[in-house]
Amino acid sequence: MLDNKVVLVTGGTGSFGQNMVNTILHQYKPRKLIVFSRDELKQYEMRQTFSPEVYPCMRYFIGDVRDRDRLQRAFYGVDVIIHAAALKQVDTSEYNPFEVIKTNILGASNIIDAAIDAGVDKVIALSSDKAANPINLYGATKLCADKLFIAANTYSAKKRTRFSIVRYGNVIGSRGSVVPLFIKQKETGTLTITHPDMTRFWITLDQAVAFVLQCLGHSKGGEVFIPKLPSMKILDLATAIAPESEIKTIGVRPGEKMHEVMIPSDEALQAREYSDRYTIYPAFQYWGHNENGGTQTGKPLPENFQYSSDNNDNWLTVGDLGKLIADIR
């Protein structure tokens, strides 16, 4: 799928981006693989692992998604864009709202314009469960970005650029996830959780990367892809990491949901179920009316369906979580 292609990853020095680069290098033979990010130190460190001398296809571009001119230069000759750049810390977003809007919303708009002008074939953007019925600014910016990417298929019109979205929740073990926090707190003998009944979906970095690459193969433009994942209780996760430690409840933080929702009931009307995923198709499709029509072969979802971490059929036990934690440490 990516052999002899030019692939660019925005936010390529992040946890997801580095894992994606590693996977592409070992599973495909891209003509070029471009890391686009604004952090020169992280790029320098990444070069030590994925150096252009060892991997001649590697390229490193310093740039910010807020800078449309730089994106236009970076996207020249690119076939596939995986858009992972974002400001995503919920509390940071509330304190710095304009900065988050500039990156997550205006940055998405810049990517759309630059990709269409450069004739990129496919853009797949990473979303978040927090974009589903958002209750914080970060989620609202991701919802807005999602809407922009879906509508961008209309702007592209008869040009070849097509835009799709992948939506999943917290990635276990990535920077900012609760697992590193619990491991660090274990040393003190006390772990803090916000609520004993709080639930989340479980997805690892490897699973997230594999799913995005799989969705690249399925994408026709306008889809929101959601993986089928197991659920867990945060309390069980804390117990699996530090069974001997005291667990202290500190209360739900502002902007935090009790349960992760990836398909609200309203969006379920446009969704289809497949063996390994759900796909939400665009409600308003002004481009290529028959382009997506043949792909909606999945099963329609029942009335009032909602894909939430608390109503899942697949749950991880404390024992399951312990084994998974051992694998990602």
Provide the annotated active-site residues. Answer: 130
- The answer to whether 211 and 169 have CB atoms below 8 angstroms apart is no
Q: Which amino acid is at 73?
A: R
Q: In terms of Cα–Cα distance, which of 75, 287, 249 is closest to 164? A: 287
C-alpha dist (Å) from residue 232 to 104, 169, 236, 280: 29, 12, 7, 24
249, containing H or E segment: strand 246-249
Question: Any bridge partners for residue 273, and if so which?
Answer: 278, 299
Cα separation, 35 vs 144, whole angstroms: 25
Cβ burial of 201 (10 Å; 0-12, 13-18, 19+) is buried
Q: In terms of Cα–Cα distance, which of 325, 12, 315 is closest to 177? A: 325
Which residues are CB-contacts of 258 (< 8 A; sequence separation ≥ 6)? 195, 197, 198, 199, 252, 310
User: How many degrees, rounded to 5, is the angle at CA 205 between CA 218 and CA 297?
Assistant: 20
Q: In terms of Cα–Cα distance, which of 153, 218, 172, 221 is closest to 325? A: 172
